[in-house]
Chain A
């Protein structure tokens, strides 16, 4: 089965700082890639997804992610964060045609934005 690594478990930034959250996966074949966000006390919401095509994907709330196949990475970025971006962020990977084991999530990155 594939694995997903999110390198930073906790990130603290000031408002207006730029954000990049790392995500790497282990599967060598074709993948679908996702970023989810979970605001405090709420359920997960899909931020953005990559299936094919342009490797730079734009999502909701000004987030974007770039798929770099050679690096097995799908890093999440935002040029200027806001206090309301404080949340837990999860990267997830799904193998395409690789078997019936669904979506694998990373352990999450807890992002705190200080005003």
Chain B
């Protein structure tokens, strides 16, 4: 099925560990996004990639890095996980960055202990 695929769906990390969240879309979209969702906070943009080869910081980029590997894939890396990074992470994509994310992945529930 067409859409945005995220892996893994669940992850538990110890403080200081690193991990990479993977995201792929098969709709030939130009723009991809990473958001985190916390209770009572809505969704906050971590990083986005307006087009292949570009990445930009969003509202809450500290502690994260991203890679736009190709047009399909956009990964999010936590180099040294902290309990404050416990959250649900969503990847999304759209045809253009100013059109807003049209499709979201299923989310990754990350717990840092």
Interface residues of A (CB under 8 A from B): 1, 4, 9, 32, 34, 42-46, 49, 51, 90, 92, 94, 96-97, 100-108
Q: Could you tell me which residues of chain B, from 40 to 67, have a CB within 8 Å of some CB in chain A?
A: 40-45, 48, 50, 56, 58-59
Interface centre among A9, A51, A92, A105 (most CB of B within 10 A): A105
| B residues apposed to A, CB below 8 Å | 33, 35, 40-45, 48, 50, 56, 58-59, 90, 92, 97-107
Measured CB to CB, the closest approach of chain B to A14, in angstroms, equals 26
Distance in angstroms between the alpha carbons of A75 and B50 in the assembled complex: 28
Task: Decide if A107 touches B100 in the complex (CB within 8 Å).
Answer: no
Contacts of B102 in A (CB 8 A): 46
Q: Verify A106–B100 contact, CB threshold 8 A.
A: no
Known: A107-B40, A107-B41. A43 touches B104 (CB 8 A): yes
- 5 A-B pairs with CB atoms under 8 Å apart are A46-B103, A97-B98, A100-B50, A102-B33, A102-B48
B43: A residues at CB distance < 8 A:
44, 90, 92, 105
| B105 surroundings in chain A (CB, below 8 A) | 43
Instruction: Verify B58–A108 contact, CB threshold 8 A.
Output: no
Beta-carbon contact of A90 and B42 below 8 Å: yes
Distance, CA A1 to CA B44, complexed state (A): 13
**Please, which residues of chain A bring their CB within 8 A of the CB of B107?**
43
User: In the bound complex, what is the Cα–Cα distance between A97 and B48 (angstroms)?
Assistant: 16
A4 to B56, CA, bound (A): 21
- Interface centre among B33, B42, B56, B101, by most chain A C-beta atoms within 10 angstroms, is B42
Among B41, B48, B101, B107, the most chain A Cβ lie within 10 Å of the Cβ of: B101
The answer to whether B44 touches A105 (Cβ under 8 A) is yes
Q: Are B99 and A32 in contact (CB under 8 A)?
A: yes
Query: Are B106 and A43 within 8 A (Cβ)?
Result: yes
Q: How far is the CB of A46 from chain B (nearest CB, A)?
A: 6
Q: How many angstroms from the CA of A102 to the CA of B40 in the assembled complex?
A: 20
- A105 and B98 CA atoms in complex are apart in Å by 14
With A43-B105, A105-B43, A108-B42 given, name 10 new contacts (CB 8 A). Answer: A9-B40, A46-B103, A96-B98, A100-B50, A100-B56, A102-B59, A103-B45, A103-B100, A104-B59, A107-B40
